[in-house]
Structure 1
Amino acid sequence: MEIKQPQEKLDKKFAFFHATSVSGTAMMIAAILASYLAVHLTDTVGLSPAAVSGLMFISTLWDAFNDPMMGVIADRTKTKWGRYRPYFLPAPVLLTIFAVLLWQHPTFSGNGNWWYFLIVYIGYQMTVTMYTMPQMSVLPAHVKSDALRNKVITYGAGATAIMFTIGSSYANSIKNFLGNLFGVENGWVPLMLILGALSCVSFWGLFATSKEKYIEPLPDRPLTEDLKRILKHKELTPFIIVWVMASLGYGLMFATSVYYVLYYLARPDLIETYMLVVSMGALVSMVVLLPIFLKFFKTGQRALTASVIGSSVCYIILFFFGSSNFIFLCVMTFIATALASMQNALVNVLVNDAIDYIQFTEGISANGVISSIKGFAQKMGNTFSNSLPLFLLGLVGYVAGAVGQQNEGTLFVLNFMRFAAPIITGLIMLFCLRFNPVEKHQEDIAAMKSMIRDHSDDNHDA
Structure 2
Amino acid sequence: MNNNIQKISVIEKIGYSLGDLAANLIFQTLMTFLAFFYTDVYKIPPASASAIIFSGGMIGAFFNPIMGAIADRTQTRWGKFRPWILWTSIPFGVMALLAFSTPQFSPGGKIAYAMITYVLLVLVYSANNLPYSALSGVITGDMGERNSISSFRFVAVMIAQFTVQGLLLPLVLIFGDGDKAAGFENVMGVFAVVGVIFLLITFFTTKERIVPTQDQKSTLKEDLGDLFKNKPWIAMLLLTILIFVTLALKGGMYIYYFDNYLDENALSLFLNRLGFVDLIEYLKISFTGFDWPEDPVTSAFSLFNAGGIIFMIVGIGFSKPLADKFGKRDVFVVALIISTLCVLAFWFFPVNMIGVVFIAQILHGFFYGITIPLLWAMIADVADYSEWKNNRRATAIIFSAMIFGLKAGLSIGGALVAGVLATYGYNEQLTIQSPETVNGIKLSVSVYPSLTFLAGAACLLFYEINKKMEVQIEQALKARRQ
TM-score, length of structure 1 as denominator length: 0.90
**Aligned equivalents of 1:273 and 1:89: distance in 2?**
39
**Aligned equivalents of 2:154 and 2:394: distance in 1?**
24
Give SS of 2:445's match. Answer: helix
Among candidates 185, 189, 192, match of residue 189 of structure 1:
185
Alpha-carbon distance change, 272 to 72 in structure 1, aligned in 2, over 3 angstroms: farther
Moved over 6 A (4+): none
The match for 1:290 is 316
Q: Deviations over 1:67-117 (max 9, x none)?
A: 111111100012222211111113221121111112222232351111111
Is 2:62 the counterpart of 1:36? no
**Aligned equivalents of 1:403 and 1:340: distance in 2?**
34
Q: How does 1:145-184 map to 2 (within 5 A)?
A: 145-179=142-176
**Aligned equivalents of 1:276 and 1:244: distance in 2?**
28
Please state how far the C-alpha of 1:341 moved relative to its aligned partner. Answer: 4.2
Q: Deviations over 1:375-422 (max 9, x none)?
A: 111111111110012112212211113232x22321222111101223
The match for 1:457 is none
Letter in 2 for 1:206: T
Among candidates 361, 368, 371, match of residue 399 of structure 2:
371
Give SS of 1:171's match. Answer: helix
Alpha-carbon distance change, 251 to 128 in structure 1, aligned in 2, over 3 angstroms: same
Alpha-carbon distance change, 71 to 322 in structure 1, aligned in 2, over 3 angstroms: farther
Letter in 2 for 1:303: V
Among candidates 441, 444, 447, match of residue 417 of structure 1:
444
Is 2:235 the counterpart of 1:209? no
Q: Which moved more, 1:90-99 or 1:45-54?
A: 90-99
Among candidates 42, 47, 57, match of residue 45 of structure 1:
42
The match for 1:20 is 18
Please state how far the C-alpha of 1:6 moved relative to its aligned partner. Answer: 9.1
Letter in 2 for 1:167: V
Alpha-carbon distance change, 380 to 365 in structure 1, aligned in 2, over 3 angstroms: same
Please state how far the C-alpha of 1:372 moved relative to its aligned partner. Answer: 0.3
Among candidates 81, 98, 102, match of residue 99 of structure 2:
102
Please state how far the C-alpha of 1:269 moved relative to its aligned partner. Answer: 3.0
Is 2:151 the counterpart of 1:125? no
**Aligned equivalents of 2:371 and 2:336: distance in 1?**
8
Letter in 1 for 2:383: I
The match for 2:63 is 66
The match for 1:54 is 51
Letter in 2 for 1:207: F
**Aligned equivalents of 2:98 and 2:36: distance in 1?**
16
Letter in 2 for 1:21: G
Is 2:8 the counterpart of 1:10? yes
**Aligned equivalents of 1:185 and 1:379: distance in 2?**
26
Please state how far the C-alpha of 1:275 moved relative to its aligned partner. Answer: 3.3
Identity %: 21
Please state how far the C-alpha of 1:173 moved relative to its aligned partner. Answer: 2.6
Please state how far the C-alpha of 1:282 moved relative to its aligned partner. Answer: 2.3
Q: How does 1:218-367 map to 2 (within 5 A)?
A: 219-234=216-231, 236-265=233-262, 267=264, 269-285=296-312, 287-296=313-322, 298=325, 299-321=327-349, 323-367=351-395
**Aligned equivalents of 1:281 and 1:314: distance in 2?**
12
Alpha-carbon distance change, 309 to 136 in structure 1, aligned in 2, over 3 angstroms: same
**Aligned equivalents of 1:429 and 1:184: distance in 2?**
36
Q: How does 1:430-441 map to 2 (within 5 A)?
A: 430-439=457-466, 441=469
**Aligned equivalents of 1:280 and 1:401: distance in 2?**
30
Structure 1: tracts of 5 or more residues without a match: 455-462
Please state how far the C-alpha of 1:342 moved relative to its aligned partner. Answer: 4.1
Q: Which moved more, 1:436-445 or 1:253-262?
A: 436-445
**Aligned equivalents of 2:392 and 2:228: distance in 1?**
14
Is 2:476 the counterpart of 1:448? yes
Letter in 1 for 2:248: G
**Aligned equivalents of 2:261 and 2:412: distance in 1?**
21
Alpha-carbon distance change, 54 to 7 in structure 1, aligned in 2, over 3 angstroms: closer
Letter in 2 for 1:51: S
Alpha-carbon distance change, 215 to 435 in structure 1, aligned in 2, over 3 angstroms: same
TM-score, length of structure 2 as denominator length: 0.86
Whether the 8 Å contact between 2:65 and 2:400 is mirrored in structure 1 is yes
Whether the 8 Å contact between 1:170 and 1:272 is mirrored in structure 2 is no
Whether the 8 Å contact between 2:311 and 2:363 is mirrored in structure 1 is no
Please state how far the C-alpha of 1:234 moved relative to its aligned partner. Answer: 4.2
Q: Which moved more, 1:139-148 or 1:424-433?
A: 424-433
Whether the 8 Å contact between 2:139 and 2:208 is mirrored in structure 1 is yes
Q: Deviations over 1:196-231 (max 9, x none)?
A: 222222221222222222131364433343123222
**Aligned equivalents of 1:350 and 1:76: distance in 2?**
23
Alpha-carbon distance change, 43 to 65 in structure 1, aligned in 2, over 3 angstroms: same
